[in-house]
Amino acid sequence: MRHSPILRDGHQIQLIEGGLAYFEALVAALDQARSQVHMETYIFDLHGAAVMVAEALERAALRGVRVCLVVDGVGTPNLPALWHQRFDRAGVAWRIYSPLGTLGLLIPSRWRRLHRKLCVMDGHLAFCGGINILDDWYDPQHGTLAQPRFDFAVCVRGALVQQVQETMTQLWWRMQGVRHVRQQQFPEAFSSFRAAGLHLPWTQDDAGGRAPSDRGHRVAKAGLLLRDNVLHRSQIERAYLKAIGAARHEIIIANAYFLPGRRLRKALIHAAQRGVRVRLLLQGRYEYFMQYHAVRPVYGVLLAAGVEIHEYHASFLHAKVAVMDADNDHPWATVGSSNLDPLSLLLAREANVVVADKGFAQKLHQRLSWAIDTQSTAVLAPVYTQRPWHQRARDRIAFGLMRLALFLTGNRY
């Protein structure tokens, strides 16, 4: 089983920052789609600027494009009735991945969520990142935000587009097969499961191996990282471990929900001890009890090793990106949906793009350094050790609950 992606040359990669820029790029691509569109997202919230994406999907279906949309049953339990009707009338085929049912998340197997954010058009162009279809200035739990979320995606042309297309198509047909079984349509179910196991007969040229030049894109070596519960159980974690182990000068990781396991912690500590500058940009605003508090018990050992920790306060940090040795001969960067916590690395379906290109790495490095310098606060070891007892108690409770959750799923981290 291969744990690292094959990085192929000739990809055109565009770094996209923020939901609005992402939505505009998506809409432009959707309006040019001619045969098929596949989209997967954790959250599809039809509020504010996100509506433009729904309207573009509707337009594509109305002109005869086959549009398949998958949303997650926790992130998007259902679509609003109006859009349910509009999508059905237009011919948008949409499915909810793993609906919660009566007992909801009380069943540990339902903690395995569809968390990746992918879109592919006509087998030529793909998007991958951490950005949900959710207005940057709005949060379903917190209302209007003073500043937009900090998040990234990439737009890609090249050989890995075929991989994106195939993995999305396989999931679609597996979901179709399960749907047919539940409806006792067994011949249709058999056909769907057969389709889910087939490789799609596209060539590299069909997948956009030589796309027209575009000023906003860089020609780069890139590959696709996946995490699922079958063939790619640890691919993303192993790729991080390999890149951290190979870093010689600098590591920057920006992660919304960061709770590294023993191997990741040791890799970061060893990097700092051998002289690599390690900077972490983490969530500084309270969003969810577990994710906010569970990470803080591991701050101490990282700070003691010389790892720099910065908490982002300008708005909600939602990025899941990293860049290493941006100014040197072997740069490495990744943009995707995977947090470095047990929910992402052990349970959820995730997707990241890895890019080995100095120009791309330098651009991402610039954006992360700016956020660290101007929109975050450094966590200082003396302040950390003197935090109030009630905060330490909450941190320990959250950390214990996370360990209990892992025990219930049968996973070790």
Catalytic residues: 115, 117, 122, 318, 320, 325
The SS3 of residue 150 is strand
**Torsions phi, psi of 72, nearest 5?**
-85, 145
- The structure tokens listed for 370 are 């700016």
Token pair 């207005």 in the structure block, residue? 135
For 210, half-sphere exposure in the C-beta direction (CA atoms, 13 angstrom radius) is 1
Contacts of 186 by beta carbon, 8 Å cutoff, 6+ apart: 180
| Residue count (the chain) | 413
Whether 344 and 413 have beta carbons less than 8 Å apart is answered as no
Task: Give residues with Cβ within 8 angstroms of 114, minimum separation 6.
Answer: 40, 42, 70, 71, 72, 75, 97, 98, 171, 348, 349
User: How far apart are the C-alpha atoms of 347 and 233, rounded to whole Å?
Assistant: 9
Q: Comparing C-alpha atoms, which of 139, 49, 91, 152 is closest to residue 371?
A: 152
Residues 6+ apart with CB under 8 A from 205: none
Return the closest-CA partner of residue 243 out of 273, 210, 276, 217: 276
Q: How many whole angstroms separate alpha carbon 91 and alpha carbon 391?
A: 51
Question: CA quadruple 20, 21, 24, 29: dihedral positive or negative?
Answer: negative
| DSSP β-bridge partners for residue 356 | 221
> Parallel, antiparallel, or unpaired: how do β-strands 36-41 and 308-312 relate?
unpaired
Residue 124 contacts by C-beta under 8 Å, 6 or more apart in sequence?
A: 157, 161, 206, 207, 208, 211
For residue 392, with 0-12 CB atoms within 10 Å meaning exposed, 13-18 middle and 19 or more buried, which class applies?
middle
